[in-house]
Amino acid sequence: MTPTTTIISPQDSPERLSVLGTHIEPLIGDGAGYHITLQSGAEGAGPPPHAHDWDEAFFILDGEVQLSCDGRTHHCSPGTFVHVPAGRVHAFRYGPGGGRMLEITGSASQAIALFRELSDALPAERPDPARIAAIFDRHGVALGP
């Protein structure tokens, strides 16, 4: 497959997913060598502690994101870059007033496929934890303690 140039203008409407209180817009995925999503959420929203076999990075654009990894919680403000190595249990929560960030993963990532399945399969309110765990497992994501 020949790579193509991708340009997404502000007036374009990329795919919008809703995953456990986080709004996710996949910007680029398959064929690019990496995956990038734009993520935003209200205060307190975010995924449970989890780990996967791909590296993940976040660049905070707006608000505050409280990222937990290696037993510590980091309060990340706009302009902060965070790299989480593969296999590390991590989680994040949007801080007061919510936040917005870019998420970047490598080509082996199953993140966008995971986000699509979660968005399609789960109701916005009261998602079933067993169903979440099964979907995470199908995409190579292990829930942490």
**Ordered domains of the chain (ranges, CATH):** 17-143 (2.60.120.10)
pLDDT > 70: what percent of the chain? 94
The pLDDT-based confidence of 1 (bands split at 50, 70, 90) is low
**Mean pLDDT (the chain, rounded):** 90
Please count the other Cβ atoms lying within 10 Å of the Cβ belonging to residue 88: 15
The pLDDT score that the predictor gives to residue 8 is 81
Instruction: Please give the DSSP secondary-structure letter assigned to residue 13.
Output: -
Q: How far apart are CA 50 and CA 99, in angstroms?
A: 20
The pLDDT score that the predictor gives to residue 103 is 97
The larger pLDDT score, comparing residue 91 to residue 13, is at 91
Q: How far apart are CA 68 and CA 70, in angstroms?
A: 7
Structure tokens at 16: 């919008």
pLDDT tens for 34-77 read 999 999 999 999 999 999 999 999 999 999 999 999 889 999 99
pLDDT of 118 above 60: yes
Distance of CA 121 to CAs 9, 134, 135, Å? 29, 11, 9
Please count the other Cβ atoms lying within 10 Å of the Cβ belonging to residue 41: 24
The pLDDT score that the predictor gives to residue 45 is 94
The larger pLDDT score, comparing residue 138 to residue 12, is at 138
Structure tokens at 103: 């998420």
